Structure 1
Amino acid sequence: MGKLLEVNGPLVRARLPQVPTGEQVKVGKIGLVGEVIGREGEEALIQVYEATESVRPGEAVEPLGYPLSVELGPGLLGQIFDGIQRPLDRILEVSGDRISRGIQLQGLDQERVWHFQPNPQLTTGMTVTGGVQLGAVPETPTIEHRILVPPELSGELLELVGEGDYPLAEVIARVRTRDNRLHDLTLSHRWPVRKFRPYRQREYSVAPLITGQRILDTFFPLLKGSKAAVPGPFGAGKTIVQHQIARWSNADIVIYVGCGERGNELVEVLDSFPQLTDPHTGRSLMERTLLVANTSNMPVVAREASLYVGVTLGEYYRDQGYDVVIVADSTSRWAEALREVAGRLGQMPVEEGYPAYLASRLAAFYERAGRVQALGGKVGSVTLIGAVSPPGGDFSEPVTSHTKEIVGTFWALSKELADARHYPAVSWTESFSDDIPVAARWWAEHIDKRWQAERAEAMTLLTQAEELSRIVNLVGPEALSGTQRWVLEGAALIKEGVLQQSALDPVDSFCTPEKQFALLELMLQLYHRGTELLERGVPVQELLGLPILARAKRCKSDYDNTKVEKLRDFAKTIREEFDRLGMEYAEAGKHSE
């Protein structure tokens, strides 16, 4: 037991001679939870995860004997936790609408009973190592929770219980290690959040994360096991983009970490997610989702911990062989927490007041993404998608610029597009993806071999249109030739018919890869047919006045994901319309002769 010496906001100093850095402690009469982050002789510097008002020097400080850890086991899915894995529904029962300081609750329900099915391949006397599957329980109707030997434990299996119903704390297996120690294993175990879970080896990512958003999947794909950033100024739609990814992505498990965002935005997430239906199973979305909620008015250092809690939960399901996507909103608030703590520690600030280790901390966090072969032999992945909120939309500020160097996919949001009501407001000029070559192999195998070529042609068309738009802004549209005006219209077809996508449209909120390619192909065919007619002498005004152009732009909402063949039939209608126009001008040319 130690004694509190000094209180400086969330940082306190205490006399704790034997407590190592990283260990958790309880501070004061209230029992606030904190973590030792530094030492000076017999004194320990502690960051407290709750407000320290009314805590006074002289009060007791109790070491807990373990670092900041999360409880891993059945019952995680469907839960809503705070930044240090306290379930918010149980906090509501205990303390009401506001979280009482010092409240201590376990992350998982210890009373709930789970039906355990042992692994038939295991027998007593076998040697088991970390990651070996002891058995499984049905965590939700769609997700089987695989009970694993903790990563750093190996030894002789002395006992494994039979099939039956067990609470979390009941012993289901016993293992004797080489040093002759006995270890009782239960359905759950704890793991430090700042320590990555070990794996056998990294694997190459081979398949894209399908989000159902055309600007992401078709133009800037992200592979399962990769990392992406979604930077954008206030009002550009970062939260909606992340909601869409969390709702529609084809990952097995979705973890949404609300880190330091406004309370009203997180309330919307907490209210809406439990009511959503999983489009892949038809059941509740929460059966494969868990939420970590840490709003901007919660203690600053709990905000810093919440990202580590989320990624540790993701690694746990990855080790079970699942594909996990973690949506972090936002890493800027996390970096601000680092800055505040560093300032109170008296550390030398560098660019914009952030500590010198900002880049290394960001890199260490994003490096926990990846597709790996787990210790038990199963292959799983963690895909990290972090929102960034640069002040004033300045992408050169430290958090955005460092993140841009780390991630492989960059979905830059544009305030200009958002102001023009173009959603998702992902800029096709500032965004990039390093995963296109691998994604192209998947598209070629599953959808169409022409995907990469048609994507490249569409990007070229958009780039040409950007250059022509600058000319129009300077001297007006009259300075453009008919071919150049048709390039602008071709880009408009891509923008309005493919890139724009309403999250509120019941038909177009989610778009399958088949429909995505069909829409892209349709717009490019329309552009090609118009170019051919221009070469045959048809005035561009006639092309721009065709009603079928407006119909083409509405195809995304007129045809749902089950009507891709009807969408392709509409392409025949376009060809017939353009052929008719070409014949009319050909006949007119003959008569004029």
Structure 2
Amino acid sequence: MPDKHRTGTVRDINGPIVTIDLPGVRSGEQVRIGEIGLVGEVISLSGQQAVVQTYEGTDGVRPGEPAMGLGWPLSVELGPGLMGGIFDGVQRPLSKIALQSGDYIARGLDVPALDRSKQWEFEPSHDLEPGQAVGPGTVLGTVQETEVVVHKVLVPPGIQGELEEVAPAGEYDIESTIAHVRDAKGTSHRLSLYHRWPVRRPRPYHQRDDGVSPLITGQRVIDTFFPQLKGGKGAVPGPFGAGKTVVQQQIARWSNADIVIYVGCGERGNELVDVLESFPKLEDPYSGRKLMERTLLVANTSNMPVVAREASVYVGLTMAEYYRDMGYDVVMLADSTSRWAEALREVSGRLGQMPVEEGYPAYLSSRLAAVYERAGRVETHGAGSGSVTLIGAVSPPGGDFSEPVTSHTKDIIETFWALSKELADARHYPSIDWVTSFSGHVHTAAEWWHEEVDRRWEQRRTEALALLARDAELSRIVNLVGPEALSDAQRWQLEGAALIKEGVLQQSALDDVDTFCSPDKQFALLDLALSIYDKGMALIEIGVPVSELADMPQLAKARRCKSMYNSDQVAEIRTFAQEVEQAFEGIRLEYAKQSVD
């Protein structure tokens, strides 16, 4: 509870930056400002004078109004009830706020993130007994949070000692006592189903491990060409209208992570409305239940307070780390880190800090690195291995990838899915540019693909990218002198690349069949396209004209296979591949006969 004796007064107001006099206040502490109780965070101190950034608009607040310290930094509540929730940038539940204040968040509202009245069925761990030594991460018991998420109740970080007692199985609200732990100093700590954790402090873990398995998203250009490991760091940069939000939504809907956290950070309201309305209706492809049973959303639209936008990424990361500590694989999507960086720029400008590149503060790169560094696969203190995969969208002005946020992000992350305006204008979606994009996880992902799908995966991927690179070179020649300057072999290379682009790389998020593609189907489509190219090239070498091959009806069907067959019909794709092989063999035999005659 706030210390009612530590009160002060407001001295100066500059937008979301407020200067207060408050004895005993600490850096990072949360305070309430003014008569309406705006919540803010102390960001600098000079004696008893503190500079506060508020998470709400300061309109109407006057110098001389009261200020009060709350005694803790910006923190989130961690416990049962998070899954399926929709929160704002400082973890206030938007559904409850809507009941109190309508469509817009009233300033000064104090609504707890977790429901205090709901009862949860707690099942204590069977191997725990009074007198046993416990520490951070020890699993005290479990709560069935949703049908697909078992919530492990952990001893919070910082508490270690002897277990005095643990509550029996039964129904408890989140504030009920479920255990007592006595530390080495003899202090007894009361533990409940939830605890608070400061969002800017990474949660501790035992050790960091290397990623071992890819995050399967169901998107071919990602999984097959530029894979992301569970626990990796990725970025989706692209200009306006290139499809960043759709790519992130597809990953949220179809990825094989245990938990999905989607942070809408400063994006347009209509885009977040689409997420908020569509996600509760979606079916989880892995459990058959509602996707929201393993998803939570953090929404901070562009018209919400700018400082809460900066906090929203940390709020999402802290909740992601909490579920990671339970041993889950979590994917967090931040849309977008550019808006987050713009919030940093605005606040630093009001503080009078020296701007550097394009007005951003000098600490932009270190802040970005600190955020992405909280991703990773780790060995937890008590629940085995868990991971946080962080994928951030970047919105460079004018699509300029040399601007500071994109260039710094590129130096930090391991997977870079660069979106192309030219591809988007050509209605090629996802508009991920295979020339500019990269992945540092290919060799590790190859071990999984070779074991689970096909041992030729890495080889076929390399062949496809080499063909696409030759296509880029030949396309420049065609633009200069026309296709007549190319040989039949070069024209067939263009046909083969087009087959890969249209039959493999293109994927419609709105197609019920093609919106998700299993790894088996992904490889079958890639192998089909490359087999057609290889067999066609062999025929060209014996004199078959490229025009005859390009007119084969099988090529048109090969482009449509992605939407003709779903992920359970891989055998049908392989059967069609055999039909194509027979058609090519027929042409070969015909030309062999003509050469003999």
Please state which band the TM-score falls in when normalised by the shorter chain.
over 0.9
Q: State the number of aligned residues.
A: 591
User: In the alignment, which of 232, 243, 249 is matched to residue 249 of structure 2?
Assistant: 243
The structural deviation recorded for 1:589 is 3.0
Query: Which residue is 1:451 aligned to?
Result: 457
Residues 219-252 of structure 1: per-residue CA shift (max 9 Å, x gap): 0000000000000000000000000000000000
What is the CA–CA distance in structure 1 between the aligned matches of 2:102 and 2:360, rounded to whole Å?
A: 36
Tell me which residue corresponds to 1:96.
102
User: Quick one: distance in 1 between partners of 2:574 and 2:560?
Assistant: 14
Correspondence for 2:375 among 366, 369, 379: 369
How far apart, in 2, do the equivalents of 1:294 and 1:97 lie?
14
| Distance (whole Å) between structure 2 residues aligned to residue 375 and residue 365 of structure 1 | 22
Q: Given the alignment, which residue of 316, 333, 336 partners 2:339?
A: 333
Q: Deviations over 1:374-396 (max 9, x none)?
A: 11141100000000000000000
Q: Deviations over 1:349-392 (max 9, x none)?
A: 00000000000000000000000011114110000000000000
Asked if 1:255 is matched to 2:238, the reply is no
Q: Which residue of 2 aligns with 1:131?
A: 137
| Pair 1:50 & 2:56 matched | yes
- Structure 2 residue 516 is matched with structure 1 residue 530: no
RMSD: 0.6
For residues 522 and 481 of structure 2, the distance between their equivalents in structure 1, rounded to whole angstroms, comes to 36
Structure 1 unaligned runs (5+)? none
* Aligned residue in 2 for 1:387: 393
Q: Following the alignment from structure 1 to structure 2, what is the Cα–Cα distance between the partners of residues 299 and 399?
A: 21
Matches of 1:435 and 1:125, distance apart in 2: 46
Q: Does 1:17 align with 2:23?
A: yes
User: Which residue in the other structure is 1:229 paired with?
Assistant: 235
Could you tell me how far apart the structure 2 residues matched to 1:42 and 1:309 are?
28
The amino acid across from 2:567 in the alignment is N
Between the aligned partners of 1:179 and 1:47, the Cα distance in structure 2 is: 37
Asked if residue 153 in structure 1 is aligned to residue 183 in structure 2, the reply is no
SS of match in other structure, 1:115: strand
Equivalent residue in structure 1 for 2:91, among 82, 85, 90: 85
Matches within 5 A, 1:180-579: 180-579=186-585
What is the Cα deviation at residue 288 of structure 1?
0.2
Q: Percent identity?
A: 64
Distance 2:169 2:384 in 1: 23
Q: How much has 1:586 moved relative to structure 2?
A: 2.4
Quote how far apart the aligned CAs of 1:588 are. 2.9
Task: Indicate conservation of the 8 Å contact 1:151/1:375, yes or no.
Answer: no
The answer for the alignment partner of 2:4 in structure 1 is none
TM superposition shift of 1:508: 0.6
Counterpart amino acid of residue 74 in structure 2: L
Partners of 1:518 and 1:303 in 2: CA distance: 43
Check conservation: 1:143, 1:288, Cα contact below 8 A.
yes
Q: TM-score, normalised by structure 2?
A: 0.99
Whether the aligned pair in 1 keeps the contact of 2:133 and 2:162 (CA below 8 Å) is yes
SS in 1 for 2:41: strand
- Note if contact 1:203-1:372 (Cα within 8 Å) is conserved in structure 2: yes
Look up the match of 1:68: 74
Q: Measure the CA separation in 2 of the matches of 1:263 and 1:565.
A: 43
Residues in 1 aligned to 2:132 and 2:595: alpha-carbon distance in whole angstroms: 88
CA positional deviation for 1:177? 1.0
Matches of 2:55 and 2:562, distance apart in 1: 47
Give, in angstroms, the shift of residue 332 of structure 1. 0.1
Q: Shift of residue 151 of structure 1?
A: 1.1
**Corresponding residue for 1:584?**
590
CA–CA distance in 2 between the matches of 1:84 and 1:418? 34
Q: Is the 8 A contact 2:25 2:48 kept in 1?
A: no
Which residue of 1, 4, 10 maps to 1:4?
10
Q: TM-score of the superposition, structure 1-length normalised?
A: 0.99
**1:127 deviation in Å?**
1.2
How far the C-alpha of 1:97 sits from its partner, in A, is 1.1
> Contact 2:267/2:300 (CA < 8 Å) preserved in 1?
yes
Q: Spell out, residue by residue over 1:384-437, the C-alpha distance to the aligned partner (whole angstroms, 9 max, x if none).
A: 000000000000000000000000000000000000000000000000000001
Match of 1:197, SS state, is: coil
Distance (whole Å) between structure 1 residues aligned to residue 209 and residue 403 of structure 2:
33
Q: What SS is found at the alignment partner of 1:172?
A: strand
Within 1, Cα distance between the matches of 2:536 and 2:86?
Answer: 53
Does the aligned pair in 1 maintain the 2:38–2:55 contact within 8 Å?
Answer: yes
Map of 1:33 onto structure 2: 39
Amino acid at match of 1:332: S
User: How far apart are 1:62 and its partner, in Å?
Assistant: 0.6
Which of 114, 124, 139 in structure 1 is aligned with 2:120?
114
User: Contact conserved, 2:139 with 2:383, CA < 8 A, in 1?
Assistant: no
Distance across 2 between alignment mates of 1:301 and 1:576:
64
* Structure 1 residue 41: Cα displacement: 1.9
User: Runs of 5+ in structure 2 lacking a partner?
Assistant: 1-6
- What is the CA–CA distance in structure 1 between the aligned matches of 2:471 and 2:158, rounded to whole Å? 57
Letter in 2 for 1:165: E
Structure 1 residues 245-293: Cα deviation after superposition (integer angstroms, max 9, x where no partner): 0000000000000000001100110000000000111100000000000
Q: Separation in 1 of the partners of 2:24 and 2:435?
A: 55
Could you tell me how far apart the structure 2 residues matched to 1:197 and 1:247 are? 26
User: Within 1, Cα distance between the matches of 2:372 and 2:359?
Assistant: 22
Amino acid in the other structure paired with 2:336: S
1:37-83 CA deviation, whole Å, 9 max, x = no partner? 00112200000000000000000001000000000000000000000
Q: CA offsets, 1:15-39, max 9 Å, x none?
A: 0121110000000000000000001
Report the alpha carbon displacement of residue 585 of structure 1 after superposing the two structures with TM: 2.2
| Residues 319, 380 of structure 1: 8 Å contact kept | yes
1:178 aligns with 2:184: yes
Distance 2:548 2:81 in 1: 63
- Asked whether the 8 Å contact 2:30–2:42 carries over to 1, the reply is yes
Separation in 1, partners of 2:298, 2:509: 23
TM-fit CA distance, 1:536: 1.0
For the 8 Å contact 1:200–1:377, the answer to whether it is kept is no
Is 1:166 equivalent to 2:172 in the alignment?
Answer: yes
